[in-house]
């Protein structure tokens, strides 16, 4: 998967990023190019062969470019919609001050990019994770396009991108399945990509990440047998659709169904504490899993969420709804912050706030 990395910095300042990302994954190649003027850049991108774009936010500081990443991304998305160029993932990167000043304050531009990364903190310090995500984005766009092509003339539904048998899909919320309706003329690849990434992979609901999966099973992720549980017993419930290489997720309704079908299942997970859940798993699966600990010794261990600040298992009873950029869709889970975290001034510094409806309750707790 080849990415073009447009950055107006000199070669020696970008070589570390290019080498780091390219060396992390054998099938990922990142090539730095200096941005040209707007018209010339569009012509180059029409003629080049690549699978993704990595754009510095400010392309106009030390080059002939008279535009920023926003303008180029918007034009490329429009041309991809018109089938003039191939649809590929577009990723923006920059330093924290620049992203905070420009990107964070312009919500309308966020949908133009599949991901954003901080140059030093992520592209360099977390290069292995970033490289895998870049690779996964490129592969995912290709997968979405292939599914679209195979469905020409029969209508394209969102459900076709889930890579699940119809019997399993039919158990999902119908509002999710029918979100885009059935269209004879499919949407651009980036529209499906954005929805899957933003509304399914980045938010809990039908799909859960490893931390939430472990919390609901009551398991401490640091124990050795947790890996065995994931790889041996729960692998068949993994999401295998677009972007699954970089974002590991599990279909929760299938995991829950599996739990209920265990020979000696005691019934609903939600009514059991963590110790009881782990006891069943160890007995049924011959494992040596450890019980997850609560954030506070006074808290319930009927975990069903993860504290957004501490990233530890949480019973929503001991938490507060968090303020989100918008209200979740019907099929998405609400997010919670533990009461302990809500009283921690560091959570506010991280821009995590209780939902307005929780503020009176927090005042009472705080005295």
pLDDT tens, per residue, the chain with 367 residues: 999 999 988 776 788 889 999 999 999 999 999 999 999 999 999 999 999 999 998 888 777 888 889 999 999 999 999 999 999 999 999 875 555 655 555 555 668 999 999 887 888 889 999 999 999 999 999 999 999 888 776 667 888 899 999 899 999 999 998 888 877 778 999 999 999 999 999 999 999 999 999 999 999 999 999 999 999 999 999 999 999 999 999 999 999 999 999 999 999 999 999 999 999 999 999 999 999 999 999 999 999 999 999 999 999 999 999 998 788 999 999 999 999 999 998 888 788 899 999 988 888 887 6
> Span 2-137: which CATH code?
3.40.50.2300
Q: Where, residue-wise, is CATH 3.40.50.2300 in the chain?
A: 2-137
Instruction: Please state whether the predicted TM-score (pTM) of the whole model is above 0.95.
Output: no
211-215: long-range pairs with CB below 8 Å, 24+: 211/306, 211/311, 212/305, 212/306, 213/250, 213/252, 213/255, 214/292, 214/313, 215/292, 215/303, 215/304, 215/305, 215/306, 215/313, 215/314
């Amino acid at each position: 998967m080849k990415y073009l990395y447009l950055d107006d910095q000199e070669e020696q300042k970008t070589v570390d990023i290019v080498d780091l990302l390219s060396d992390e994954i054998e099938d990922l190649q990142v090539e730095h190019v200096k941005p040209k003027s707007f018209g010339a850049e569009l012509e180059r991108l029409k003629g080049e062969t690549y699978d993704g774009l990595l754009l510095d936010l400010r392309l106009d500081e030390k080059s002939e470019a008279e535009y920023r990443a926003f303008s180029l991304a918007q034009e490329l998305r429009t041309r991809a919609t018109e089938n003039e160029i191939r649809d590929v993932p577009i990723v923006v990167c920059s330093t924290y001050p620049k992203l905070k000043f420009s990107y964070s304050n312009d919500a309308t531009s966020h949908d133009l990019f599949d991901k954003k990364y901080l140059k030093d903190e992520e592209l360099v310090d977390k290069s292995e994770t970033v490289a895998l995500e870049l690779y996964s984005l490129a592969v995912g766009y290709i997968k979405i396009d292939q599914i679209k092509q195979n469905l020409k003339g029969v209508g394209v539904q969102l459900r076709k991108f889930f890579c699940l048998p119809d019997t399993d899909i039919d158990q999902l919320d119908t509002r999710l399945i029918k979100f885009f309706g059935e269209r004879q003329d499919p949407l651009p690849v980036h529209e499906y990509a954005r929805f899957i990434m933003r509304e399914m992979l980045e938010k809990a609901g039908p799909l859960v990440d490893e931390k939430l999966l472990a919390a609901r099973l009551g398991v401490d992720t640091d124990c050795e047998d947790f890996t065995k549980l994931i790889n041996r017993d729960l692998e068949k419930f993994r999401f295998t659709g677009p972007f699954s290489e970089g974002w590991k997720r599990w279909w929760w309704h299938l995991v829950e169904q599996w739990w209920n079908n265990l020979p000696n299942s005691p019934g609903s997970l939600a009514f059991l504490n963590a110790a009881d859940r782990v006891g069943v798993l160890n007995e049924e699966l011959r494992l040596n899993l450890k019980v997850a600990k609560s954030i506070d010794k006074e808290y319930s261990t009927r975990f069903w969420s993860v504290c957004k600040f501490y990233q530890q298992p949480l019973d929503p009873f001991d938490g507060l709804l968090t303020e989100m950029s918008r209200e979740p869709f019907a099929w998405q889970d609400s997010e919670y912050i533990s009461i302990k975290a809500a009283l921690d001034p560091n959570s506010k510094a991280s821009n995590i706030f209780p939902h307005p409806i929780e503020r009176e309750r927090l005042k009472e707790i705080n005295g």
